[in-house]
Amino acid sequence: MSRKIGAIHWKKFETFLISRGCVFKRERGDHRVYAKIGLKRPIIIPRDTELPPFIILNNLRTLGVSRDTYLDFLEE
């Protein structure tokens, strides 16, 4: 049975990004930009209270991280 990704607070997702080696680069307006060596493009997350699942999934794809790896991180 597949587990679903739900909306989470942006700070929790930021913790995940940092654990994967991403580094905060800058903030412009309400968007935060993270970079990691080897990525073709930066990871951008809005500073909304809750990040919707589609933003999380798009950033996981950019990072090359599986859904299960992400969900395991959240369960820790």
| pLDDT per residue as tens digits for the range 12-47 | 999 999 999 999 999 999 999 999 999 999 999 999
For residues 34 and 25, is the Cβ–Cβ distance under 8 A? yes
Task: Using the predicted structure, report yes or no on whether residue 11 has a pLDDT greater than 60.
Answer: yes
Q: What pLDDT sits at residue 3?
A: 82
H or E, element range at 24: strand 23-28
pTM for the predicted model, two decimal places: 0.90
Q: Rounded mean pLDDT of the chain? A: 93
**CB count in 10 Å sphere of residue 74:** 14
What is the rounded CA–CA span in Å between residue 56 and residue 12? 11
- Cα–Cα distances (Å) from 54 to 8, 10, 67, in that order, read 11, 13, 12
> What is the predicted pLDDT for the residue at 70?
95
Three-class SS of residue 36? coil
Residue 2 predicted with pLDDT over 70: no
